[in-house]
């Protein structure tokens, strides 16, 4: 989105949207240029204002095109934004329902940057009796074992057209089209033993003088853990395995797909080989396709670093649903990824972003359901604001999941909040800020837990989890008793559990240690157990569910097979991840969902954003010293000792001036979000990025205007001065981009009520 003209504090702004549409903004509301109100306004203000607005529009579109061209070679420059069908339809969505949703998004959410519309999983499954999430035999596949849209639900796909016509319609709305795909090959294709296609030469893939089939590349022992009847990994070491994956993603590109969500390849289902091959195939295409991977259970910063350059988005938690525990589960991993500098790191042909999952707000369905949207979000409004604030300041992709056809005003205003979207796209130095002080509000009876728990009331347990084998603490397993096949965890003394944690091989280990290190292990919690330890849960985990290995009847399954290496790592044969014991501290049953948290970030105008999150069940007063914020943001040392003022976004209240601290009373499970700046100081005039600097250098008049803007004596015009010819027209692109857009969005009817500023403006132009 590009701001074309806006004198300070004026109610009138003009916007140019990426798809070429032109919108006018009156006091924060976005209206199409063809709306009755805008036609009325232009008719009554005459041709002078119309001409001037048109001049600024042409000027800014020229600048905007330069900026777009400069970024054309970088993919996912900002956290992607859009809509995904899963939270509202699960797998049951039809073509008619999808296109209705896309049309609504084009009209209501595209002006706010929501440009991707994504069909989530099982679009190829027939919606008939007996079909469900992990059913077998109900999928539509072609002669090469590739998934094809169910023609009963997607009638335009008949005749082998796939999603071609749907993608064309979506593109015609100014949107981008995405699909969800599973890793590997379907069990149905494996059982049918379909031929593998050679998408380079055409026809069946041939190597070593013969054609290759599905059963030769499918790895039945590596079935997707949470959809074992649906899909299995392919052997990427074989040329035929690589050829099959290449034929899949080239077909998706031919359909016009702009976004791929690749599932059952990350987190506990980590498959780096397949991710790498798919990334290479997408890189070879003649147009960009955004690459997202999932799920995110047990993700660590080390795992993120292994994939970030290969993708544009990667999930970092299990599925997020509308429960408070799911929301809270995102704080720790968001902190860890930020501290590891993974936000906006180098990605596939551009940047990559840690993905906190979709926003389950508005009108929803249930996990794994065979039904569409039928219920309201279970989160309170304070909890919804907490989720949206964290997602924004952690710079997660924003993928709305509710039914947009029933988008209520409260949800709409939340997901289009201009301050949150500004932070999500343009802020920097985003990090958790731990130096905060909570205090119980007078009259509240519950205890207040700070984020960092200390004291004798803290108990420690250890959870068996998976992590990257490159983690230093993964190298800590050793053989204790070869005869019984006993291996034990030998972590650093500060983290050792009170009792040693040991596992036993199902069969007694061979005497030779060399054979032990090379062999596969079937591990049990004791030498008499009948169940074996698997790496991953047999279900799709939500964010609040911690992955801890699962005991199930012993069988020859890669999920239950382990290998103890000579360097002390215990590697799982399914995911290639290694086992560790992580300490888990808790105070009572509610410790995981209580306390206070805080994040800070720097805005592109130089302002500082401070977010407080009250996870406690009672109202809490939270304080942060300005000096501590200045130290955390090393380029903001001028805040120390300065008199600062702040504006809290959710309440609309102004605070300060103060030189000491920011103190706000935060509702239970709610957030407070403030922008902080020094009193009397000019906002920093630094560019948000190098492209904007290039814009000014390209236009001498703008360069001169930018220089003039740095002068404290520069006087900005009001709208009345502009229309009456007083003052000077010296607005730079940077000034245009940084002007306020109003505190909230209002409807056209509300703006045309008698007595509003807009009505007064229109009357004054007669």
Report, as an integer, the average pLDDT of 378-404: 98
- Percentage of the chain surpassing pLDDT 90? 51
Phi, psi (rounded to 5 degrees) for 117: -120, 125
For the cut 70, the answer to whether the pLDDT of residue 727 exceeds it is no
Predicted local distance difference test score (pLDDT) of residue 519: 65
Can you read off the two tokens belonging to residue 363? 């009108």
Q: 343-357, 392-406, 574-588: lowest mean pLDDT where?
A: 574-588
Residue 593: pLDDT band (50, 70, 90) is low
Q: Tell whether the model's pLDDT for residue 176 goes beyond 60.
A: yes
Short-list 240, 251, 395, 263, CA closest to 318:
263
Between these two residues, 70 and 670, which has the higher pLDDT value?
A: 670
- 3-state class (DSSP) for residue 140: coil
pTM over 0.85, yes/no: no
Strand order in the sheet with 620-625: 436-440, 620-625, 661-666
Region of 85 on the Ramachandran plot (φ > 0 left; ψ -120 to 50 alpha; else beta): alpha
Q: How far is CA 137 from the centre of its chain?
A: 33
Residue 748 predicted with pLDDT over 70: no
| pLDDT for the residue numbered 507 | 64
Residue that the structure tokens 């045309």 belong to = 752
From the list 675, 637, 641, the residue with the least C-alpha distance to 658 is: 641
Task: Work out the mean pLDDT of the chain and round it to a whole number.
Answer: 78
- Supply φ then ψ for residue 434, to 5 degrees: -85, -10
Predicted pLDDT at 707: 43
Place of tokens 């999808």: 98
What is the average per-residue pLDDT within 175-203?
97
Helices and strands in the chain, H and E counts: 22, 39
Q: Hey, which of 540-544, 617-621, 761-765 has the most confident mean pLDDT?
A: 617-621
Strand, helix or coil for residue 755 = coil
CA–CA gap between residue 184 and residue 161 (Å, rounded) = 22
Lowest mean pLDDT among 103-107, 401-405, 469-473: 469-473
Task: Give 166's pLDDT tier (boundaries 50, 70, 90).
Answer: very high
Mean pLDDT over residues 710-714, rounded? 36
Tell me what pLDDT residue 377 has.
97
Any residues with CB less than 8 A from the CB of 573 and at least 6 apart, and which? 520, 558, 559, 561, 562, 563
Give the mean model confidence (pLDDT) for residues 586-594: 45
Q: Which residue has the higher pLDDT, 309 or 19?
A: 309
Q: What share of the chain is helix, strand, coil (3-state, %, to 5)?
A: 30, 25, 45
Residue 110 has pLDDT above 90, yes or no: yes
pLDDT of residue 427: 96
Contact 434, 600 (CB under 8 A): no
pLDDT score for 62: 52
> Quick one: which of 175, 17, 15 has its CA closest to 82?
175
Q: How large is the average pLDDT for residues 704-728? A: 34
Residues in a beta bridge with 629: none
pLDDT at position 540, please? 55
Is the model's pLDDT at 532 over the cut of 90? no
How much is the pLDDT for 183?
97
Residue 716 has pLDDT above 80, yes or no: no
pLDDT at 717 over 50: no
- Residue 133: the pLDDT is 87
The strand pair at 350-355 and 313-315 is best described as parallel
pLDDT at 28 over 70: no
- Banded pLDDT at 59 (limits 50, 70, 90): low
Which of the two residues, 589 and 612, has the higher pLDDT score?
612
- Residue 102 scores a pLDDT above 90: yes
What per-residue confidence (pLDDT) applies to 762?
37
Q: Which residue has the tokens 């994956």?
A: 245
User: Do 177 and 117 meet the contact criterion of CB atoms below 8 Å apart?
Assistant: yes
Strand, coil or helix: what is 415?
A: helix
What DSSP line would sit under 499-534, residue for residue?
Answer: S--EEEESSPPPS-HHHHHHSEEEEESSTT-SEEEE
pLDDT band at 16 (very low <50, low <70, confident <90, very high): very low
* Selected residue with higher pLDDT from 483 and 114: 114
Give me the pLDDT at residue 344, please.
Answer: 97
Judged against a pLDDT cut of 70, whether residue 492 lies above it is answered with: no
Q: Which two tokens stand for residue 91?
A: 């797998």
Q: What pLDDT is stored for residue 686 in this prediction? A: 41
33 touches 22 (CB < 8 A): yes
Q: Which has the closest alpha carbon to 8: 738, 680, 750?
A: 738
**Residue ranges of E strands in 95-224:** 116-119, 176-182, 185-186, 206-207, 210-211, 218-223
> 19: burial class by Cβ within 10 Å (0-12, 13-18, 19+)?
middle
Tokens of 100: 């209705």
Alpha carbon distance 655, 567 (integer Å): 57
Window from 52-66, 79-93, 475-489 with minimum mean pLDDT = 52-66
Dig out the tokens for 725 from the structure: 């010819």
526 pLDDT exceeds 90?
Answer: no
Please spell the DSSP secondary structure of 358-372, one letter per residue: -B--SEE--TT-SS-
pLDDT of residue 747: 40
- At residue 624, the pLDDT reads 94
User: How far from the centroid of its chain's Cα atoms is residue 18's Cα?
Assistant: 21
Across the beta sheet with 218-223, the strand order is 185-186, 231-234, 218-223
pLDDT of residue 73: 62
- At 306-319, the pLDDT tens digits run 999 999 999 999 89
Angle at 424 between CA 418 and CA 425, to 5 degrees: 90
In degrees to the nearest 10, what's the CA dihedral of 206, 210, 212, 213?
Answer: 140
pLDDT band at 444 (very low <50, low <70, confident <90, very high): low
pLDDT band at 120 (very low <50, low <70, confident <90, very high): very high
Between 92-106, 140-154, 281-295, 679-693, the lowest mean confidence (pLDDT) is in 679-693
Q: How far apart are CA 386 and CA 325, in angstroms?
A: 12
Instruction: Look at residue 608 and give its three-state secondary structure.
Output: strand
- pLDDT top residue among 658 and 67: 658
Q: What is the pLDDT of residue 54?
A: 60
Provide the residue count of the chain. 766
Percent with pLDDT over 70 in the chain = 69
Q: State mean pLDDT over 735-743.
A: 34
Nearest C-alpha neighbor of 267 from the set 82, 76, 80, 542: 542
pLDDT of residue 585 exceeding 80: no
Residue 754: is its pLDDT beyond 70?
Answer: no
């Amino acid at each position: 989105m590009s701001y074309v003209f806006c004198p300070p504090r004026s109610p009138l702004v003009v916007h140019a949207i990426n798809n070429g549409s032109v919108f006018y903004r009156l006091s924060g509301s976005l209206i199409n240029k063809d709306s009755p109100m805008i036609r009325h306004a232009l008719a009554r203000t005459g041709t002078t204002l119309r001409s001037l607005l048109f001049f600024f529009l042409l000027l800014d579109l020229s600048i905007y095109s330069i900026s777009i061209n400069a970024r054309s070679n970088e993919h996912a420059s900002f956290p992607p934004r859009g809509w995904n069908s899963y939270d509202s339809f699960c797998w049951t969505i039809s073509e008619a329902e999808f296109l209705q949703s896309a049309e609504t998004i084009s009209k209501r959410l595209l002006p706010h940057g929501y440009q991707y519309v994504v069909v989530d999983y099982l679009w190829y499954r027939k919606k008939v009796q007996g079909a469900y999430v992990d059913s077998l035999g109900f999928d539509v596949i072609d002669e090469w074992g590739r998934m094809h849209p169910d023609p009963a639900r997607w009638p335009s796909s008949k005749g082998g057209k796939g999603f071609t016509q749907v993608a064309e319609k979506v593109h015609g709305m100014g949107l981008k089209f995405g699909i969800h795909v599973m890793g590997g090959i379907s069990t149905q294709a494996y059982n049918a033993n379909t031929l593998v296609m050679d998408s380079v030469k055409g026809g069946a893939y041939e190597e070593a003088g013969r054609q290759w089939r599905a059963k030769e590349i499918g790895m039945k022992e590596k079935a997707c853990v949470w959809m074992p009847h649906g899909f299995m990994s392919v052997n990427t070491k074989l040329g035929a395995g690589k050829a099959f994956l290449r034929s899949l993603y080239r077909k998706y590109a031919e359909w016009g797909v702009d976004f791929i969500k690749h599932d059952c390849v990350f987190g506990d289902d980590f498959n780096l080989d397949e991710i790498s091959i798919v990334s290479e195939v997408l890189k070879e295409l003649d147009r960009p396709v955004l690459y997202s991977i999932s799920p995110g259970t047990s993700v660590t910063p080390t795992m993120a670093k292994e994939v970030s350059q290969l993708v544009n988005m990667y999930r970092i938690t299990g599925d997020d649903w509308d429960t408070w525990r799911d929301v809270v589960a995102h704080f720790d991993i968001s902190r860890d990824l930020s501290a590891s500098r993974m936000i906006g790191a180098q990605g596939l042909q551009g940047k990559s972003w840690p993905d906190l999952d979709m926003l389950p707000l508005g009108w929803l369905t249930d996990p794994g359901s065979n039904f569409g949207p039928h219920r309201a979000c279970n989160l309170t409004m304070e909890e919804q604001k907490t989720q949206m604030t964290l997602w924004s300041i952690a710079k997660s992709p924003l993928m709305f999941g509710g039914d947009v056809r029933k988008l209520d005003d409260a949800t709409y205003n939340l997901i289009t909040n201009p301050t949150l979207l500004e932070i999500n796209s343009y802020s920097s130095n985003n990090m958790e800020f731990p130096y905060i002080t909570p205090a119980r509000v007078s009259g509240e009876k519950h205890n207040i837990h700070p984020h960092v728990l200390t004291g004798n009331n803290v108990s420690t347990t250890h959870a068996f989890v998976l992590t990257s084998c490159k983690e230093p603490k993964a190298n800590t397993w050793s053989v204790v008793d070869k005869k019984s096949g006993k291996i034990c965890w030998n972590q650093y003394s500060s983290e050792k559990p009170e009792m040693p944690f040991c596992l036993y091989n199902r069969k007694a280990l061979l005497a030779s240690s060399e054979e032990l290190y090379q062999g596969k292990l079937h591990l049990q919690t004791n030498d008499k157990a009948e169940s074996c330890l698997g790496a991953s849960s047999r279900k799709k985990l939500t964010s609040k569910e911690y992955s801890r290995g699962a005991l199930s009847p012993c069988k020859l399954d890669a999920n239950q097979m382990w290998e103890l290496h000579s360097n002390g790592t215990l590697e799982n044969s399914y995911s290639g991840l290694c086992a560790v014991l992580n300490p888990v501290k808790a105070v009572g049953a509610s410790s995981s969902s209580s306390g206070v948290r805080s994040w800070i970030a720097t805005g592109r105008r130089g302002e500082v954003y401070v977010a407080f999150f009250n996870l406690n069940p009672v109202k809490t007063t939270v304080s942060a010293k300005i000096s501590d914020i200045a130290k955390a943001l090393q380029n903001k040392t001028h805040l120390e000792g300065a008199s600062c003022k702040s504006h809290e976004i959710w309440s609309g209240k102004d605070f300060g001036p103060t030189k000491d601290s920011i103190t706000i009373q935060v509702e239970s499970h709610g957030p407070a979000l403030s922008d902080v700046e020094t009193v009397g100081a000019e906002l920093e005039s630094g560019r948000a990025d190098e492209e904007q600097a290039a814009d000014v250098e390209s236009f001498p008049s703008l360069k001169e205007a930018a220089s003039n803007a740095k002068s404290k004596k520069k006087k900005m015009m009001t709208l009345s001065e502009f229309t009456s010819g007083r003052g000077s027209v010296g607005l730079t692109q940077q000034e245009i981009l940084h002007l306020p857009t109003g505190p909230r969005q209002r409807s056209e009817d509300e703006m045309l009520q008698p007595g509003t500023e807009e009505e007064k403006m229109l009357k004054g132009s007669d």
